[in-house]
A = this chain, B = another copy of it.
């Protein structure tokens, strides 16, 4: 266990926006003896090295994690579990493996199903840094991306003792606030606060006739902003969180149905009440700070 928030070798698998930002924060805050970046593409590794996110780069997962005290898997959600299991087979004894996936039930269940206990104190617990940007890739990485942000850690009854404390120390060292939720609670919460907004933004963008785009001003632009996110990253997020997203969508449909009814019926009092309710929730969110 590291003392005073100092870590030995940290391996980051997938050095995009999140992985790159973790690396930058570790290096700027001098938290790790060495940061190893692991990726499939030499170009991403070169970009991560160039921005100063990693000390060393490799495309060989087993080699990259061979000395790691902590491994953070920051790849698209449909690849995380397999990489976690492969990494865990190659880490030194006592290593902590975590991830940064935006959905947790599917990942955590697959990791726990495939986990081979070497009896050496190796640990896995899922994480999700709730921070991001519609821009992706290591060139947009920032040392302060997680500073002041929330990281949700998702233990289960199978999570080894001490793993939550250890991963919490890691994220806190990067400036994040840590909250723990079960994987199911996490997925329901993120379905409502992140995946549903993305679905709605995508539907709104897709429903806008191209010929009207020149008249679309800041309201349209902000409401659809997240729909500019990478479809290759978002498709697996939806695919691994179907049930909760569909449940959140049902809530949304009830909510927009009330607005439609008020419009259809010319019920201006109800229309005003619904707009006021929405405005109140916005104010409550603003009051929480950023």
Is residue A4 within 8 Å, beta carbon to beta carbon, of the partner chain? no
**Selected interface stretch from A22-30, A42-50, A111-119, A208-216:** A208-216
Q: Specify the main secondary structure of chain A where it touches its partner.
A: helix
| Given A228-B283, A231-B275, A246-B264, A204 and B215 contact (CB-CB distance below 8 Å) | no
Residue from B150, B197, B208, B246 within 8 A of A263 (CB atoms): B246
CA distance A277 to B206 in the complex (A): 6
Chain B residues within an 8 Å CB radius of A283: 228
| Given A235-B272, A282-B227, A203 and B263 contact (CB-CB distance below 8 Å) | no
Is residue A120 within 8 Å, beta carbon to beta carbon, of the partner chain? no
Chain B residues within an 8 Å CB radius of A214: 150, 288
**Selected interface stretch from A31-39, A55-63, A168-176, A218-226:** A218-226
A: interface residue count bin: 35 or more
Contact, CB under 8 Å: B227 / A225: no
Chain B residues within an 8 Å CB radius of A197: 204, 219-220, 223-224
Q: Which of A149, A198, A278 gathers the greatest number of chain B CB atoms within 10 Å?
A: A278
Q: Which residue of B lies closest to A260 (CB)?
A: B249
Is residue A274 within 8 Å, beta carbon to beta carbon, of the partner chain? yes
Within 8 A of B (CB), among A77-100: none
Chain B residues within an 8 Å CB radius of A259: 199, 202-203
CA distance A98 to B176 in the complex (A): 53
Is residue A207 within 8 Å, beta carbon to beta carbon, of the partner chain? yes
**Selected interface stretch from A13-21, A154-162, A188-196:** A188-196
- What are 18 A-to-B residue pairs whose CB atoms are below 8 Å? A131-B217, A131-B218, A150-B214, A192-B208, A193-B212, A193-B217, A196-B207, A200-B223, A201-B278, A202-B278, A206-B258, A206-B277, A206-B281, A207-B251, A213-B284, A224-B281, A224-B282, A231-B275
